[in-house]
Amino acid sequence: MRLIVSAFLVVAGLIVILWVNGSAWGVEANTIGGAVVLLGLVSALVAMALRARRDQASGSSADDEPVQVSRK
């Protein structure tokens, strides 16, 4: 879920950079868009690092198959 939000931030920042002209309170739209893109990229990096750390701590990986134990 967090990676979807990060991707949305990157796309929104690119839209601001490419199609918005002007400034708000003396700050150019390109600067605001660049900050939003940077925020999206950093949040994606943090989300991936936390996910890798959580997987490492639990000792599981995406390739692990569940163990099935039969009851007698």
What pLDDT, on the 0 to 100 scale, is given for residue 45? 93
Tens of pLDDT, residue by residue over 5-19, are 899 999 999 998 888
Quick one: tokens of 30? 């390109």
Is 24 within 8 Å of 32 (Cβ atoms)? yes
CA separation for the pair 52, 66 (Å, rounded): 19
CA separation for the pair 70, 32 (Å, rounded): 58
Tens of pLDDT, residue by residue over 26-40, are 888 888 899 999 999
CA separation for the pair 54, 41 (Å, rounded): 20
Provide the residue type at 50 as one letter: L
- 42 phi and psi angles, rounded to 5 deg: -65, -40
